[in-house]
Amino acid sequence: MKINLFVLYGGKSVEHEVSLRTAFTVLNAIDRETYDVYPVYITREGVWCCDGLQKQKPGSMDELASLGGNDRAGNAAASIGGVLLHYFSIPGKRVALPLLHGSYGEDGTVQGLLELLDMPYVGNGVLGAAATLDKDVAKRLLDQAGIGQTRYISFSLEEWLEKGPALIEKAERELGLPCYVKPATLGSSIGISRCQDVRELAEGIEEAFRYDRKLVIEREIRGREIQVAVMGNDRPIVSLPGEFIHRHTFFDFESKYMDKELVMSIPASLPEGVTARIRELALQAYRALCCSGLARVDFFLDADGELYCNEINALPGFTGTSMYPVMWERTDGTTYAELIGKLIDYAFMRHADKGTIRYTR
């Protein structure tokens, strides 16, 4: 029998559109001889929509966002209950594939629901998802693991309202200018500002607080940004490194998803020994943040050959311009469809392993 595969996408997140792009690419790549695919679209208001088994591959992203099956203007809780009752309870082997970037999907919330349902799911668990999405928490854990990072400070909206001028002075003194202001729990470069003076720094902080209640400010590292893909549970493996060749000083949302001139360089041309060092550091970071399933680890390499871990993305993009799947194809020949299959296999392995834990005395 085929495996029932529930693909979750959209979501109550600023990264809703990115999730649609990822879902469109993945749904067109899934092996339909192995899986019966049930797309589950989550609206920007958090309502879950499912039309049942998807017999044909989607022709457009608009099609993905037009699923019915529930009252689109209805109650989020009722819609979730309806999807769980009518579809997640279908007999047979089942697994979920969350393709939800950012809030309410990449942060451990959906993972917690799937744990309660005792359903295998692709990607990081509750702790790994929550820790990696929160840049402040992730940086503290990486610090404890001894993994080099750029200098940074972090503070909450409440702290900003209480002592804003002092925090501006601290950032300028400890980090220097230019620097980067980032919402603590978002990806895709949304809400991030490159600030070259104090005025821009204040504006960047206000912008970041539109999307979050905590932020981080980082010293700028001038150099190359190198990425590696990691996959696996207890014994993860690492791809060859890659980098985007581009002309942008700041690789923002438009640069990542709209620039038609982006060039992927895989494997990245690196000095002797640097590739091995990056791959080893990526494994250390993956374990330090309790990751499982998959992640992409990003580094800066400066002109002196120093490596700095920039961040870990627990749900890297799978769009047509995303690095993660291409790095695996260039590393060992894994195709897009094969990669999805491997990630699903890791989900089943982790679920089986957790099934050996005792919950009674």
Sign of the alpha-carbon dihedral angle for 91, 94, 100, 103: positive
Query: Which pLDDT value is given to residue 261?
Result: 72
- Are residues 103 and 13 in contact, defined by beta-carbon separation less than 8 angstroms? yes
Sign of the alpha-carbon dihedral angle for 313, 319, 321, 325: positive
- For residue 281, the surrounding DSSP H or E stretch is helix 274-288
Place of tokens 């920039």: 310
Instruction: For residue 239, give both structure tokens.
Output: 């791809």
Report residues of the chain scoring pLDDT below 50. 257
Task: Please tell me the distance from the alpha carbon of residue 306 to that of residue 148, in angstroms, as a whole number.
Answer: 9
- Are residues 96 and 121 in contact, defined by beta-carbon separation less than 8 angstroms? yes
User: Could you count the other beta carbons within 10 Å of the beta carbon of residue 85?
Assistant: 9
Give the chain's end-to-end CA distance (angstroms, integer).
36
User: Could you count the other beta carbons within 10 Å of the beta carbon of residue 126?
Assistant: 17
Report the helix count and the strand count for the chain, using DSSP H and E.
12, 14
Q: Based on the number of CB atoms within 10 Å of its own CB, is 277 exposed (0-12), middle (13-18) or buried (19 or more)?
A: middle
298 labelled as ligand-binding?
yes
Domains with residue ranges and CATH for the chain:
3-121 (3.40.50.20), 151-219 (3.30.1490.20), 223-354 (3.30.470.20)
What does DSSP say about strands 94-98 and 3-10: parallel, antiparallel, or unpaired? parallel
Query: Which pLDDT value is given to residue 66?
Result: 87
Query: Which pLDDT value is given to residue 72?
Result: 56
197 labelled as ligand-binding?
no
- Say how many CA atoms lie within 13 Å of 276 toward its Cβ: 2
By C-alpha distance, which of 274, 234, 252, 141 is closest to 190?
A: 252
Instruction: For residue 116, give both structure tokens.
Output: 């309660």
Q: Which residues are catalytic?
A: 15, 188, 322
311 labelled as ligand-binding?
yes
